[in-house]
Amino acid sequence: MNSITAEVLKQTLFDKGLESIQDFLGYEIDPKENKDVIDRRMDEALDQISEAEFDEFCRKYGVYEEEWKEIWM
pLDDT digits (tens, 9 = 90+) for 11-69: 999 999 999 999 999 999 999 999 999 999 999 999 999 999 999 999 999 988 655 55
The pLDDT score that the predictor gives to residue 68 is 54
Question: Under 8 Å CB-to-CB from 66, ≥6 apart: which residues?
Answer: 8, 12
Q: What is the pTM of this model?
A: 0.85
> Quick one: which of 40, 43, 46, 38 has its CA closest to 18?
38
The CA distance from 2 to 19, in Å, is 24
pLDDT digits (tens, 9 = 90+) for 2-11: 888 999 999 9
Half-sphere exposure of 53 (CA within 13 A, CB side): 10
**Is the predicted pLDDT of residue 73 greater than 50, yes or no?**
no
